[in-house]
Amino acid sequence: MKGNTLNVMFFILKNKLLKNGEAPVVLRVTINGQRDEIRIQRSIPVELWDNAKMRSKGKDRSSRELNMYLETLRDRIYVIHRNSVYDGEKLTPKKILDILYAREGRHQVLKAMKECIDEWAASPGDLHPATLARYNRCCGLVETVIRNVYNKEDIAFSELDRKFITAFGRYLKETRGLARNTAAKYLECFRKVLKVARQKGWMEDGRCLEELGRLCVKEETSPSFLGWDELRTVMETDMPAGRLERVKDVFVFCALTGLSYQGISTLCPSHLFRDDEGTLWICRTRAEGTEVGDSCTSRVPLLKPAMVLLEKYRGWNPMNPEGPCFP
């Protein structure tokens, strides 16, 4: 059809090499002199690119996979164009790329992730506030990796691949320095969002979920505990700054009571009571899992060193006397 001539071209950006030394591959679509282009999130060593054939001239597995991907893109573009001709629809290069990468009315990863978090936050019975905070942190981490890997503000679910999942896991462990189990918590957060996307039909390929499932496996740990002599050494150590002194005191209180830092950060005078024998106890209901309904009531008797620490910080915030026991 003369009035609707389509040309598909692949080329590389030799002057904009990536960190791995390879050149990004660009797809350009031209219709009747109008053109639009996009990086296809693939790269290749400059010396392996054949400009005339617009493909890799390598014989290795990576080259074969790249060439197959280029042919797939080319075929899909011609199918989109042919269907538009049959339907009498006038397409532009931008419209073709929007359809190809599902950018028109598409569901984007970050946007969908934020929508999920907003929905959970609007239903207080769904997730514990601490879990919601972890999802928000995970969203920020995903946003950073998208910028690093794709050089974009957001991407469609159709653009997710194992390369991104691997980059996300490496970023958490190597760049952010997170331990394996801590990184697994954030990967599991991202995995839950992808599960929602899969259930709603936003994401067709389930391989990313499989890869995330493999990376989310936590390492079995055998925690070691301080002996009394070791704990006493910590207690008797003088700290050079007030901030470090507070950190030490909170750590010691955790060790003496078995409470987590999160538990101590929300410990208030209302959680304390004395029994008939005069023993001071902590009695409170704490979250046991990610769901708000997952909770249990704990009762912890306080040893004398723990009571000394409570007394030390009593009234530390005169503006909120019924607030947290520790700063």
Residue 292 has pLDDT above 50, yes or no: no
Helix H or strand E segment including 35:
strand 34-44
User: What are the beta bridge partners of residue 30?
Assistant: 7, 35
Cα–Cα distance for residue pair 46/167, rounded to 1 Å: 23
Residue 213 has pLDDT above 80, yes or no: yes
Cα–Cα distance for residue pair 136/68, rounded to 1 Å: 38
pLDDT tens-digit profile of 294-320? 556 778 899 899 999 999 998 888 888
In this prediction, residue 286 carries a pLDDT of 62
Cα–Cα distance for residue pair 65/48, rounded to 1 Å: 14
Least confident segment among 34-43, 96-105, 193-202, 237-246? 96-105
In this prediction, residue 290 carries a pLDDT of 45
Residue 202 has pLDDT above 90, yes or no: no
In this prediction, residue 143 carries a pLDDT of 93
Burial string for 190-201 (b: 16+ CB within 10 Å, else e) reads: bbbbbeebbeee
In this prediction, residue 242 carries a pLDDT of 85
In this prediction, residue 102 carries a pLDDT of 60
- Domains of the chain, by residue range, sit at 2-100, 109-215, 228-313
| Residue at 182: amino acid letter | T
- The set of residues, in sequence order, having a beta carbon less than 8 Å from that of 150 and lying 6+ positions away, is 41, 159, 164
Residue 4 has pLDDT above 80, yes or no: no
In this prediction, residue 129 carries a pLDDT of 81
Cα–Cα distance for residue pair 80/27, rounded to 1 Å: 15
Least confident segment among 95-109, 138-152, 179-193, 222-236? 95-109
In this prediction, residue 251 carries a pLDDT of 93
In this prediction, residue 206 carries a pLDDT of 76
Q: Which of 75-89, 92-106, 164-178, 210-224 has the highest mean pLDDT?
A: 164-178
Cα–Cα distance for residue pair 18/26, rounded to 1 Å: 13
Question: If DSSP codes are grouped into helix, strand and coil, which group holds residue 68?
Answer: helix
Q: What tokens appear for 291 in the block? A: 């769901």
pLDDT tens-digit profile of 84-138? 777 777 788 888 887 787 654 467 899 889 989 988 888 866 777 888 899 999 9
Q: How many CB atoms lie within 10 A of CB 153?
A: 11
Residue 82 has pLDDT above 90, yes or no: no
